[in-house]
Amino acid sequence: MKNKSIGKGTCSVWAGEEKSLMQNATQVPVVHSVSFGYKDVLQWQQVALGEQKGHIYSRNTNPTVDVFENKICQLENAEKATSASTGMGIIHSTLFSFLVPGQRVVSVKDTYGGTNKIFTEFLPRINVEVILCNTTDHEAIEAEVAKGCDLLYLETPTNPTIKIIDLDRLARAGKKVGAIVVVDNTFATPVNQQPLALGADLVLHSATKFLGGHADAMGGVVCGNKELIDQIYHYREINGATLDPMSAYLLLRGMKTLALRVERQNQSALEIAKYLNSHPKIEKVFYPGLESHEGHQIAKKQMTGFGGMLSFILKENTFEAVGTVLANLKFAHSAANLGSVETIVGPPATTSHVECSKAEREAMGIPESLIRYSTGIEDIKDLVDDLGNALSKLK
């Protein structure tokens, strides 16, 4: 079903499944088998050498995992995809499949916390230079890329202040110097943003978040052309961070409703952002769908929806005030996750930026009273009432 003309909703439901159905089943089987047997050793050898389609050993490939990869591959309009056990598994595999000592990476300060650790702790260890620019300073990023860049790593929208990066513009800068351009598309999802069409070489996801959408399975996936994906697959097949077939199944099942969920989350997040924006107890709201957001024009240009993620700062700028709001929300988990059918809230001080000091967070533009809000699929009226009630408990 390689058909660009079908919609995201249809693609979410049908893409990638047809070849793997068994004995007239309408649903993809969970193949728990570790290995795949061959009486014919010649055939076995051909499969092992990749000259014939088939599976050998589930650390390498597996039928259920294959379907998961095919579905996201088609949603991102890519040639090929490969997966890993977690988002970090695929980010690590992607970076370490290409980078060798002496090379130079350009990225931004607001990448996901785990990614930032690879940049600041693990890549320098193997003598890869990493330059982290101010996230929305496009001139500075272009200048660093022009000085020499083997891999340009971008993420948009970012965590937790939902900053927006112009992908088309920076992908062109990366191409000019021959860099591999990688985009973490976790927050946007392929429903709202298509980095490959904007010039990126690779698009990756923590499938744990919006793709799976039910907070019950972890996974990661990267999509791009065959040559790049084969290199990442080879690295991941050896490091062993393989996606488990049961998780692949849960992610697949979640992805059937991806377009439906994301459309709802786009709508609700915009309404909540507008509501909070005019609320007397709110200092500031970060949501790219608001015209007042500094990245609004870029977001409008490169996204088809503004996403389910937002954050806001309370006027009462204390960690206690955050505690009050969180404790009084009925329809939100206070947890370190996002992208699920349930609304999820959390302060960066306990989740993405737990390792920073209060002063460091303030310097990064993250005040103590910032709350990240991952909009679920509940009824919008209930979410707004819930927020209204929780905020009424503040001074």
Ligand X SMILES: *Cc1c(COP(=O)(O)O)cnc(C)c1O
Peptide linkage before 63 cis (omega within 30 of 0): no
Question: Rule CB under 6 A: which of 330-369 touch ligand X?
Answer: none
Would you call 104 a catalytic residue per the annotation? no
Closest-by-Cβ residue to ligand X is: 87
Q: Note if 184 is an active site residue.
A: yes
Q: Which helix (H) or strand (E) holds 206?
A: strand 202-206
For ligand X, the binding residue among 8, 104, 163, 209 (CB under 6 A) is: 209
> Is the bond preceding 348 in cis, omega lying within 30 degrees of 0?
no
Stretch of 11-19, 166-174, 202-210, 281-289 contacting ligand X, by CB under 6 A:
202-210
Q: Which stretch binds ligand X (CB under 6 A): 74-82, 183-191, 227-235, 341-349?
A: 183-191
The residue count for binding ligand X (CB under 6 A) is 15
What's the per-residue H, E or C state across 108-136?
Answer: ECCCCHHHHHHHHHHHHHCCCEEEEECCC
Q: Which stretch binds ligand X (CB under 6 A): 83-91, 246-254, 276-284, 373-381?
A: 83-91
Contact 71, 16 (CB under 8 A): yes
User: Interface residues for ligand X in 129-158 (CB under 6 A)?
Assistant: 155
Q: Which is nearer to ligand X, 153 or 187 (CB)?
A: 187
The verdict on 67 binding ligand X (CB under 6 A) reads: no
Cβ pair 266, 305 in contact under 8 A: yes
Does the footprint of ligand X cover residue 186 (CB under 6 A)? yes
Planar angle of CA 232, 89, 195, nearest 5 degrees: 65
Residues 274-303 that bind ligand X (CB under 6 A): none
Q: State whether the Cα torsion 220-225-226-231 is positive or negative.
A: negative
- Minimum Å gap between C-beta 106 and ligand X is 18
Specify the amino acid at residue 34.
Answer: V
Of the listed 209, 281, 361, 372, which one is catalytic? 209
Angle between helices 167-176 and 138-146 (to 10 degrees): 10
Rounded to a whole number of angstroms, the CA Rg of the chain reads 21
Pick the piece of the chain touching ligand X (CB under 6 A) from 204-212, 270-278, 320-328, 378-386: 204-212
Among 86, 136, 242, 266, binds ligand X (CB under 6 A): 86
For ligand X, the binding residue among 16, 63, 87, 305 (CB under 6 A) is: 87
Q: Which residue has the tokens 């980095």?
A: 195
List residues near ligand X by CB under 6 A: 86-88, 112, 114, 155, 159, 184, 186-187, 206, 208-209, 218, 220
